[in-house]
Amino acid sequence: MSEPISGFDARPDYDPASEGFTPVTTDEGKLRQLVDYLAEHVSAYRVSAPVPWTGTLDEIRAARAAANDRSARLPDAIVHASMLVLGAGVDHTLPFVAFDGADCRIEDLDADGVPVRVFVPSDPTGAVVVAAHGGAWWMGDGTARDGSFGPDCAALAQRSGAVVVDVDMRLAPEHRMPAAAEDLVAAVTWARTAPIPEIAAGAPVVLWGRSSGGHAAFLAAKMLHDADADVTSLALTAPSLDLRGCGTDMLEAIFGHADATDPSVSPALGDASWLPRLHVQTGSEDDTVAGGDVIVAKLKEAGGAATMSEFLATHFVAVPAVQRERITDLARHILDATGTARELPGDPSGDYDKDAIDRANEESWGR
């Protein structure tokens, strides 16, 4: 009998477990396998330096640039790791490529003093989304915005048909909160009358934020509500809405005080009855942020409209197929909330049948 090839033997009675190998076929197991690989082999994922919250501005800016560069590399690292760990026979296309994000027209504009990047879809519906990137209130601009959040904005524009306005918000500690929220308010106000022909007159506006951007979007939505200028909907992806447990130095640098029970710091602890229609996306394995599910429950209890979608993801990692599902889920919400319509083609994974592939793998392993 020849030696096993790549650790496997073609014998029908070959049992990988006898060699100390247990095939991973559950989706949860595959995500954990991917995360473990990234943690061991990919510096863009595993390398992180402490944020110098009490340092000089030069130290903050140097740390921000390094963190942004790592964040910008992570999407491609996830694709490559997925191909190595989960197999090249699965569609690991990122949303930007899968949904033809390159077909967007992209313009850098000034929204009444706030820099924005506008993604105009090739088949617009007239709706508009104002988007807030993540990055723990202190990073996420620069190369991270170019290489990570921006491509998702383009994918969302193409998938939903809405013009997406990506806001280059002011960041802490140079600009403490609520500066970022104020920038979002300015961008929403500008978008309602923006000189962009693809935005319909009086177009409904969805405010979307990811992670700490979800926190800023929440505060911006409250400011707009208080000014009788509500957005049509607030959409939050993995929002950070409960900051109890965060370090004192971090809170002081971002908010100017360390009281995490203040609803402006932890919105999940405050009133939710005022909220517009709300949609929250959470990660089943996300142990980085909290409060999204709480705010959904509060709004429902108050009689408001709130929905939540859970995806198999940590805060930073989801397989590309799940990333595409999240963008499509957002697109469906935007279409429904804004009363616009367009056909959503199926996922580019096509006729790929995961269950059939898993069954075939198990049979080949002699299970």
Structural domains in the chain, sorted by start: 16-91+353-364 (no CATH), 95-338 (3.40.50.1820)
322, 256, 309: which is closest to 279 by C-alpha? 309
200, 215, 115, 125: which is closest to 165 by C-alpha? 115
262, 184, 258, 260: which is closest to 218 by C-alpha? 184
Q: Are 273 and 350 in contact, with CB atoms under 8 Å apart?
A: no
Instruction: Using a pLDDT cut of 90, give the percent of the chain over it.
Output: 81
Q: For residue 166, is pLDDT > 70?
A: yes
Q: What is the pLDDT of residues 25-50, one digit of tens each?
A: 799 999 999 999 999 999 888 767 78
- The Cβ of residue 185 has, within 10 Å, a number of other Cβ atoms equal to 24
Element (H, E) at 282: strand 277-283
User: CA 354 → CA 43, 89, 90, 268, distances in Å?
Assistant: 30, 10, 8, 37
Q: Average model confidence (pLDDT) for the chain?
A: 91
Instruction: Using a pLDDT cut of 70, give the percent of the chain over it.
Output: 88
Length of the chain: 367
Please state the rounded mean pLDDT for residues 211-215.
Answer: 99
Residue 254 CA to residue 263 CA, distance in Å, equals 14
Q: What is the pLDDT of residues 258-284, one digit of tens each?
A: 999 999 999 999 999 999 999 999 999
